Structure 1
Amino acid sequence: MFETLKVFLRNRKAAIGLAIVLAYVAVAIFGPMLLGADPMARVGRPHVAPDGEALLGTTRMGRDVFAQLIYGTRTSLAVGFFAGLLVVLIGTVLGITAGYFGGVVDEIINFCTNIVLVIPQLPLLLVIAAFVGQTSPVVIAIIIGVTSWAWGARVTRAQTMTLRQREYIQASELIGEPAHRMIFVELLPNLLSIIGFNFIGSVTYTIITQATLEFLGLGNPMSVSWGTMLYHAQNSSAITVGAWWEVLAPAVAVAGIGIGLSLLNFGVDEISNPRLRTLGTIAAAAKAQEKIDRQRAAGKLQGAAQ
């Protein structure tokens, strides 16, 4: 495990992305406890610019933007991770089932997957959220989770079908290994990189989609999240009246977690993909050779000058 962690941290993208994500997680867990403030309480005059008392200013209702940002981090990350787990669970179960058993089971699951893939996802989410009404963050997470599993199921199915043709899998089947052992012992460990890739991508998509739905007014306006902060800023015409801090804080928070998760995703992909690892090694060797060539050229110039 420590060797795996060392390999992971050697990748610059993965290390930076992990540091950003862990910083957000620390804020989500410990921030509200250390802050000890009510994000919905009125603490000052409307639209006060950032100062010593209000680090990120106040909203139109006189609420502390910094407190809302801290509490919103917990809500948005909780929704993202919960929906990501739901997407991975559904996609992995259906993908492995279809790829391993094949036949009629594969045809039925593949048919359902194709239907979900064909339907435009964001319009579907907008219709469902509008039909349900002002939804809580948990309901938004469930809606995203049950409508976003198709891509992960398709990729998992394809990789499972590839692994099922390996000699050690076929040998285990010939000696009578039960299906549940084949799936959990032989297949699942070889699918961990794809599952991790799917989870990180699902969390990123969920956080951005939740903010979009709540910004459009399809969430619960009384909850505190980055999306509802943007929604209230829009309704109060924050940009028009010059209260830029009310929009900037949640927008930077969404962008920051998106960058962190994307870097983490790129790093995991490079580590788990042998072709990308080879390209990285070749690029590093080329840079090292270029540095040596420059040093040699500089040495020749100095020798000629002397």
Structure 2
Amino acid sequence: MSIQTSDPGLAVADPAPGAAAGPAVRSRRNRFAFLRNGKAITGLTILGIFLLLAVIGSWIAPYDPSAMSNDIMQAPSARHLLGTTQTGEDVLSQLLVGTRGVIVVGFVTGFFATVISVLVGVSAGFLGGAADEVLSAFSNIFLVIPGLPLVIIITSFLPNAGDVIIAVVISLTSWAWGARVLRAQTLSLRRRDYIEAARATGESTWRIIVFEIIPNLTAIIASSFVGTVVFAVLTEITLSFIGVANISHWNWGTVLFWAQNNQALAQNAWWWFVPAGLCIALLGTSLSLINFAIDEFVNPRLRTGGRATGGRRVRMRTGFTPVVRKTPVVRDPQKGDRV
């Protein structure tokens, strides 16, 4: 189809139907670019399996995790897929039931610690002045306090604390580092042109923080959340393994605690502690892969192989054409040779 002009011999072709929609289509594709990353897919798949087990683990467990039987120290078999303990307890049931506690502590801690770090870090970086001094000093106090010993001391005074209480205690000791990072990034953003334009239009301080600052810190906030979840999971398992937390409440650390106390390694009962260790390693790997995928999504330079999302190679445009200088040819007038 063409558009007729005053010149009968001249016709202007209409743009392609999809040309105007090209940027919109690319924008929609970029929204799901993160989900096309191999590391993100692998990490989210493993994490999704653990989340599913946390929900249905107690329903699909073949036995009561605390029920004793006459099958003492049995290796994995059709009756007990991951073997039994020295009191006849089913190891698979203990792992399935204990998944919920690990996931709850990890994600509740990540949520509370991330909220505190965003409130303190972004407010300190954007407000400046006395507010920055007070909030930075508050962050430094928690930053220099050793987190794990403090959690052990607090938890020792709460012998029957549940998963949520332990998560709150861990979150109160693990938010300071994220707040420092967010403060530094906010300091670099608060003098940008679009922030100054928002101030000039009369927008309130909190509206600028919520709608202008925080959206540009989404990747850092997500990375901080994932790192906090990893720290919380390892802390919860450590507390259970050393016997500080309530050992009657099943999680992967509790399984390792009873295996260590009953010398499972000396008795060659590998099925008692290896599956729990593999679960910890897989969960940590999945969260690390998600964290790496977030970094690659935000910074294309980290994408391996020089490829952007969708398998397209990134082409760097310099904006100028290189000038190639040729060496002048000089002839010797006597010999007629080139010099």
Give me the TM-score of the superposition, normalised by structure 2: 0.79
What pairs up with 1:191-210 in 2 under 5 angstroms? 191-210=217-236
Aligned equivalents of 1:159, 1:231: Cα separation in 2: 41
Cα offset for 1:60? Answer: 2.1
* Percent identity over paired residues: 42
Aligned to 2:4: none
Structure 2 distance, partners of 1:45, 1:181, is 64
State the distance in 2 between where 1:5 and 1:183 align.
Answer: 23
Name the residue aligned to 1:40: 66
One-letter identity of the residue aligned with 1:251:
G
- The number of residue pairs the alignment matches comes to 286
Whole-angstrom CA distance in 1 between matches of 2:166 and 2:267: 31
- Residues 194/44 of structure 1: CA separation in 2 closer, same or farther (3 Å cut): farther
Deviation digits for residues 112-133 of structure 1, max 9, x if unmatched?
Answer: 1112112222222233333444
Letter in 2 for 1:221: I
How far does the alpha carbon of each residue in 1:74-129 deviate from its partner, in whole angstroms, 9 at most, with x for none?
Answer: 11011100111011011111111111111111101101111211222222223333
Q: Work out the CA distance in 2 between the residues paired with 1:285 and 1:104.
A: 48
Are the aligned partners of 1:20 and 1:257 in contact in 2 as well (CA < 8 Å)?
yes
Question: Residues 237 and 103 of structure 1: is their aligned pair in 2 closer, same or farther, counting only changes over 3 Å?
Answer: same
Contact 2:98/2:251, CA 8 A, preserved across alignment: yes
Task: State the TM-score, normalized to the length of structure 1.
Answer: 0.87
Partner residue in 2 for 1:151: 177
Q: Distance in 2 between matches of 1:42 and 1:18?
A: 36
More helix by share: 1
Superposed CA deviations along residues 211-259 of structure 1, whole A, max 9, x for unmatched, are 1111000010110100111111111111112211111111111011001
**More deviation, 20-29/193-202:** 20-29
In the TM superposition, residue 273 of structure 1 has moved relative to its aligned partner by: 2.0
Larger Rg: 2
Partner secondary structure for residue 127 of structure 1: helix
What is the aligned-residue RMSD (CA, Å)? 2.2
Tell me how far 1:30 sits from its aligned partner. 2.4
Query: Is residue 2:281 matched to residue 1:255?
Result: yes
Structure 2's unaligned 5+ residue stretches are 1-26, 315-339
Structure 1 unaligned residues grouped into runs of 5+:
287-306
CA distance in 2, matches of 1:209, 1:53: 33
Which stretch shifts more, 78-87 or 109-118? 109-118
Aligned to 1:294: none
After the TM superposition, which of the residue ranges 141-150 and 22-31 deviates more from structure 2?
22-31
Equivalent in the alignment of 1:264? 290
Give the Cα–Cα distance (whole angstroms) in 2 for the partners of residues 213 and 284 of structure 1.
Answer: 47
The residue aligned with 2:163 is 137
The amino acid that maps onto 1:228 is: T
Alpha-carbon distance change, 61 to 12 in structure 1, aligned in 2, over 3 angstroms = same
- Give the superposition deviation at 1:22: 1.0
Note if 1:61 corresponds to 2:87: yes
Is 1:94 paired with 2:120?
yes
Matched, 1:172 2:172: no
Q: Which residue of the other structure, out of 98, 110, 116, is the alignment partner of 2:136?
A: 110
* Aligned-pair CA distance for 1:29: 1.6
Q: Which protein, 1 or 2, shows the higher relative CO under an 8 Å CA cutoff with sep ≥ 6?
A: 1
